Structure formats: C-alpha cells, structure tokens
C-alpha cells in the first residue's frame, strides 16, 4: 500500500513539473462576435505603430481630409463651382495681397506640427484671373480656381483635378505672412497653415 501511495505521489509531482516546464505562449486580443448565422470567426486586432509622414502639404491634406466619399466630393465640387461662378459674375476683382508674388509653405498643422523646413520649395501662386498654380521648385503639381471674399475673409479653392475636394480657408493675416485656417464647410477645420511671401523666382529654381 505504501509503495502504491509513493508511486501515485511521484506521478503527480512529475505531472506538475511537466506543466511548469511548458513554454508560455503569447496571447493576442481577439473579438468573438455572434451574428444571426452563428459564431463568426475570431478576428485578430492588430495595432500598428503610429507614424508621422511629412510630405508636400497638399498631399498631407489629401490624406488627412475627412471627406473621402467620391459621390460626396462630386456633390461638393458642383456646389463650390456654383458659388465660385456666382461670386465672379458679381465681383471679379482680385486682391493684391493674395495675388502678389508667390507663397511658400512654412508650416502645416493637421493634428501635429510639420517638421521645420520640410516644406521648403513648396509654393502656391494665386493669379489675377482667379486661377492658381502650385508645385515644388520648378515642377508644377497642379492648378485650380479660387475666389477671395474680402468682407468675410474667406478663400474658396477648387482644384482642377476632379477627384479632389474643394477647400475653404479663413485668412487670419496677410502681408509677408499668411495664416490659413480651414473652415467646416468642406471639413478643413482641423488644418492650419502658415505661408510666407517669396519672389516668383522660386518657381524656376531646381530642386
């Protein structure tokens, strides 16, 4: 009887030691969902590290903007064009403080401040005929139409590329420095930009 008890205790001890020696497997968070058709397969939740990308300001705006639905963009572009044409029909005067020289991007804030100098050479040029051109150094990236409402201090911009949403900005100050604060009209209200006036020669310099 004693031998049987000893054998039993030895078996239990070896079993416990074997369990402790098993490597611990990492666990991941899963969500079990049950729908009308029964249990849905487990879905792994993967958390990607947060990264910061400092590219051309207009590229950053394109990725940060909340309005991404194609049908909504078409609708907003049509509405913005109607507004632009109506304003130009009633008052086609231009503002020298916007049109004079070329503007170079200094900073873009869209939830985080862009790095110092990352926008060097990136410019936008508002012309007297209510069109604008933008690019980097001697490379043109795009064109569009604009209107500036002096009484409201609002700048409406419509890119010539049909896939891009319209933009509306409040101009906070303009001299050699211009601060553009996005409005909620086209979901730009999470973005602010600082631009500085530079000679038109920036458009000819090589990158």
Q: Are 145 and 130 in contact (CB under 8 A)?
A: yes
What's the total number of domains in the chain?
A: 1
Confidence of residue 81 (pLDDT cuts 50, 70, 90): very high
Report yes or no on 7 lying in a domain.
Answer: no
Per the rule left: phi > 0, alpha: psi between -120 and 50, beta: everything else, 117 is: left
* Residue 142, pLDDT above cutoff 60: yes
Q: Are 123 and 141 in contact (CB under 8 A)?
A: no
Contacts of 83 (CB under 8 A, 6+ apart): 147, 156
Residue 101 belongs to a domain with what CATH number?
2.40.128.280
Report yes or no on 130 lying in a domain.
Answer: yes
Confidence of residue 140 (pLDDT cuts 50, 70, 90): very high
Per the model's pLDDT, the better-predicted residue between 66 and 98 turns out to be 98
Confidence of residue 93 (pLDDT cuts 50, 70, 90): confident
SS3 at position 37: coil
Report yes or no on 109 lying in a domain.
Answer: yes
The average pLDDT across 30-40 equals 37
Report yes or no on 141 lying in a domain.
Answer: yes
The average pLDDT across 156-166 equals 95
pLDDT, residue 59, reads 56
pLDDT, residue 97, reads 82
Its pTM surpasses 0.75:
no
pLDDT, residue 99, reads 87
Q: Are 172 and 181 in contact (CB under 8 A)?
A: yes
Which residue(s) pair with 107 in the sheet? 194
Report yes or no on 1 lying in a domain.
Answer: no
153 CB-side CA count, 13 A:
11
Report yes or no on 5 lying in a domain.
Answer: no
Report yes or no on 49 lying in a domain.
Answer: no
CA separation for the pair 71, 63 (Å, rounded): 17
DSSP string, 133-189: EEEETTEEEEEEEEEEETTTTEEEEEESSTTSPPEEEEEEEESSEEEEEE-TTTT-T
pLDDT, residue 150, reads 87
Domain of residue 124, residue span: 58-203
Tokens found for residue 128: 């007297």
* Residue 31, pLDDT above cutoff 90: no
Average pLDDT, the chain: 76
Report yes or no on 43 lying in a domain.
Answer: no
pLDDT, residue 95, reads 79
């Amino acid at each position: 009887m004693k031998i049987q008890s000893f054998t039993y205790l030895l078996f239990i001890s070896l079993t416990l030691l074997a369990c402790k020696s098993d490597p611990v497997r990492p666990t991941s968070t899963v969500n079990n969902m049950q729908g009308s058709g029964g249990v849905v397969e487990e879905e792994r939740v993967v958390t990607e590290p947060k990264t910061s990308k400092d590219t051309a300001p207009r590229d950053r705006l394109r990725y940060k903007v909340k309005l991404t639905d194609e049908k909504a963009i078409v609708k907003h572009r049509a509405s913005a064009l109607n507004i632009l044409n109506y304003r130009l029909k009633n008052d086609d005067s231009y503002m020298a403080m916007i049109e004079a020289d070329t503007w170079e991007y200094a900073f873009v804030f869209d939830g985080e401040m862009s790095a110092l100098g990352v926008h060097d050479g990136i410019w936008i040029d508002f012309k007297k005929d209510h069109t604008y051109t933008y690019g980097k150094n001697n490379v043109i990236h795009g064109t569009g139409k604009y209107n500036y409402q002096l009484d409201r201090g609002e700048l409406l911009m419509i890119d010539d590329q049909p896939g891009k949403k319209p933009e509306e900005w409040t101009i906070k100050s303009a001299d050699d420095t211009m601060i553009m604060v996005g409005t909620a009209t086209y979901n730009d209200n999470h973005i602010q930009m600082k631009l500085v006036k530079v000679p038109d020669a920036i458009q000819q310099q090589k990158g």
